[in-house]
Amino acid sequence: MVSTDFKKQVVSQLMELEQTSQLPSSRFATTIGIDPGRWSRLKKGDLKGVLSDSRFITIAREQEIKMGAQKDWKTVNTSTFAYITSLLATCHSESISVLLVDMADIGKTHAAKHYARANRDAVYLDCSQVKSKQLFVREIARRFGVSNTGRYADVYRDLVFYINTLPNALIIIDEAGDLKYDAFLELKALWNATEGNVGWFMMGADGLKAKLNRGIDSKKVGFAELFRRYGSSFRQVSPAGREAVDEFRNDQVALVAKANLPQGTDIQKLLKSSRGSLTNVRNIIQVMNRRHEI
C-alpha cells in the first residue's frame, strides 16, 4: 500500500510542475492523465480514494517525481546537450522539422526531456511506449492537454485543431524507430495537417536510420515523403572516427560526473568504471549517494 506521505510528495511536486507549465489547471491535469475534478480534490489535500495506489506510482514514474532525500541530478551543458537544445529551439521558434540520428547513450533523451519541461507548448514522446497509430496520436493529445479518449477520429481532429491555434508548438519524437508502419503514415498526415504551424523533432539511433533507408529503397509508401519533410538529411552530434568518438564520450562523462558525484570521490576511478557511458555514470553515482545517506 502506498503511504500518505508518498501521495503528499507526489501531489506537492505535481503542483510545482503545474506552476512551471503555465497551463490552466484543467489542461495540466489532462497532460498528466488525471481527471480535472480529481486533480482539484488532490490539490485541496483530499487524498483518500481519489486515485488508486497504482495510479499514484505510474504518475510519479512518468513525471520523474523525486522521492524522499533523493538528490537532484544536475544537468550539464555537454556538447550533445548544447547541440540538441539549439536545434530544438530553432524547430520550436521557426516551426521547422529536423531528423537527428546518433549513437545511444550520449544524452539525447535527457536534453530533449529537459527542453520539453522548460518550454511551454513543447511536448516529448517516447515512441517505444506508443508504437501504434492510435497510441501515438492519443499520447500527443494527452501531452497537449487535449482529451485523448473517445472516438479516434475526434481525438485526431481536436488535436490538429488545437495545436494549429498555438503561436508555437514543438513535438519531440524520441525512439522513433520503434513506431509501427501505420504510425509513420499518421505522422506524415499530422505533419501535412500542421505544416508551418508546428515544429517537429524526430530522433533515434541507428535503427531509425536503417528503417527509413529500407523504406525509401523499397519504395514503401510514405517513407520518402516523410524523409523529405524532415529535410532529407540525418543530423548527428557525435564525431566520426573511433578515437574521436572515444574522446567525445569521455569528455561528456567527465563533465557530468564532476557536476554530480559526491565529495571525495576518486573521479579517475569512476571514469574508468563508466567505460564512457553516461548511463553507467548515473547508476554509479546514484549508488554512491544512497550509501552516503546510510
Looking at the domain assignment, is residue 67 inside a domain? no
pLDDT in tens, 144-200: 999 999 999 999 999 999 999 999 999 999 999 999 999 999 999 999 999 999 999
Say yes or no: 58 and 105 in one domain: no
Q: Is 248 found in the same domain as 225?
A: no
Q: What per-residue confidence (pLDDT) applies to 292?
A: 58
235 located within any domain? no
Mean pLDDT of the chain: 90
* Structural domain that includes position 215: 79-229
pLDDT for residue 70 is more than 70: no
Same domain for 96 and 197: yes
Cα atoms found within 13 Å of the Cα of residue 132, Cβ hemisphere only = 4
Give the CATH number of the domain where residue 191 resides.
3.40.50.300
Q: How confident is the model at residue 285 (pLDDT cuts 50, 70, 90)?
A: confident
Please give the residue that has the higher pLDDT: either 72 or 61: 61
For residues 177 and 133, state if they share a domain. yes
Note the pTM of the prediction, 2 decimals: 0.86
For residues 33 and 11, state if they share a domain. yes
pLDDT at 294: 44
User: Are residues 258 and 221 part of one domain?
Assistant: no
Q: Is residue 236 part of a domain?
A: no
pLDDT band at 291 (very low <50, low <70, confident <90, very high): low
Q: Is residue 72 part of a domain?
A: no
Within this chain, do residues 225 and 139 fall inside the same structural domain, yes or no? yes
Phi, psi (rounded to 5 degrees) for 13: -75, -30
Number of folded domains in the chain?
A: 3
Q: Is residue 46 assigned to a domain?
A: yes
Is 265 found in the same domain as 191? no
> Do 165 and 273 lie in a common domain?
no
Residue 269 lies in a domain: yes
For cell 555514470, what's the residue? 281
Domain match, 155 and 277 both: no
Residues 91, 157: one domain? yes
| Domain-located, residue 71 | no
In a domain, 196, yes or no: yes
Please indicate, yes or no, whether residues 185 and 49 belong to a single structural domain of this protein. Answer: no
pLDDT band at 235 (very low <50, low <70, confident <90, very high): very high
Average confidence (pLDDT) over 8-13: 90
